[in-house]
Amino acid sequence: MDILDYAFMQRALLASLMVGLVAPAVGIFLVQRRLSLLGDGLGHVALTGVAVGILTSTAPVGTALVAAVLGAVLIELVRARGRTSGDVALAVLFYGGIAGGVVLLSLAPQGQATNLDAYLFGAITTTSGSDVAVFAVIAVVVLVVVGLLGQRLYAVSDDEEYARAVGLPVLRLNIVLAALVASTVVLSMRVVGLLLISALMIVPCAVAQLVARSFRQTVLLGCAIGLVVSLSGTATSYYTGTPSGGTIVLLAIALFLVVSLAVAVHETTARRRHRRRADVHGAHPHEHGQDCGHPPVPHGDHVDYDHDGHRHAPHRTGSGVHYDEHGEHAVPAPPRSTP
């Protein structure tokens, strides 16, 4: 593995390992809240922080963190106050962030390292030793907070109104989440880039939720996918000379398309099989009972009837009786009953 012979690649791979693991763990709550683009907006705001850092000759990672977290808190306060102006306020903040960043960077004295592309789209050569140290602290803090508050964050992201009604501290939890997103954005600014980090928060979760059955599974699978695409994207960019952020995101999107296709094919097959069975059922409609010829199979609190290898559970309603399929649980949306 000559790729590991270079110190800059070691640092880049360490950074991509951390961001790949952390981004989906935070992003899943944005997906759940249908606020997928918050990370993108905070990336814009972080750029102003980067510019301030470069202008004042302080470490841009630190100033970006301050700017992004301040922006995040501001956004949540704006959202909590007015409903009508919230959307416009966000736009002003986000585009103000990127405009401020670009203008401030242009003011930097000649000879300063102001490679805008590297900040926006990621580059493998830019991660310094002190960056890795800061990233490690951010990654640990974010993962610990998600571990401690994950269930509350899930509750608020899933059904904010219910969370409010039962007295969960909705505003505080939303601010915590926004601060986590801001931290993750900064964590990404070397390898993935401020404009692309949102994709690494969202796309691995989107892949995971195609196949997972529980929220927990979605988070774990999302993190695993994030880790794999982030590391492999960074490694690919070493060989192809492409920007690491773009390479990582394209890999993630390719994975999303492949898994979507596989799931669609699987569902079509399952539906066709179900239709074939429905034809069999249509051919001899009767109420299952003691003498119907289909062997009864006790199942929990009721009796299923073995029907050519799958099981029928009688479901009595006001309008008669129909049969639910109880033999199959693997299909994401279990087929409705047949008459």
> What residues contact residue 33 under an 8 Å CB cut-off, 6+ apart?
156, 157, 160, 177
- Closest CB to other proteins among 67 and 155? 155
How far apart are the C-alpha atoms of 250 and 291, rounded to whole Å?
60
Residues 306 and 288: their CA atoms lie apart, in Å, by 10
Rule CB under 8 A: choose which of 31, 75, 123, 180 binds other proteins: 31
Is 298 one of the binding residues for other proteins (CB under 8 A)?
Answer: no
- Dump the DSSP string for 258-289: HHHHHHHHHHHHHHHHHHHHHHHHHHS-----
286 binds other proteins (CB under 8 A): no
For residue 317 the two structure tokens come to 């309603």
Among residues 70, 215, 259, 278, the one that binds other proteins under rule CB under 8 A: 215
Binding mask 114-133 toward other proteins (x if CB under 8 A, else -) reads --------------------
H or E segment to which residue 58 belongs: none
Residue identified by tokens 């905070």 is 42
200 binds other proteins (CB under 8 A): no
Q: Does 318 bind other proteins (CB under 8 A)?
A: yes
Question: Which of 43-51, 192-200, 280-288, 326-334 is the region at the interface with other proteins (rule: CB under 8 A)?
Answer: 326-334
Residue 308 beta carbon to other proteins: minimum distance, rounded to whole angstroms: 23
What is the C-alpha separation between 280 and 293, in angstroms, rounded? 15
**Which residues, 6 or more positions from 11, have their beta carbon under 8 angstroms from its beta carbon?**
127, 128, 129, 131, 132
CB of 62 to other proteins, least distance (A): 28
* Shortest distance, position 170 Cβ to other proteins, whole Å: 10
- For binding to other proteins (CB under 8 A), which residues are involved? 28, 31-32, 34, 148-149, 151-152, 154-155, 157-159, 161-169, 205, 209, 212-218, 300-301, 315-319, 329, 332-334, 336
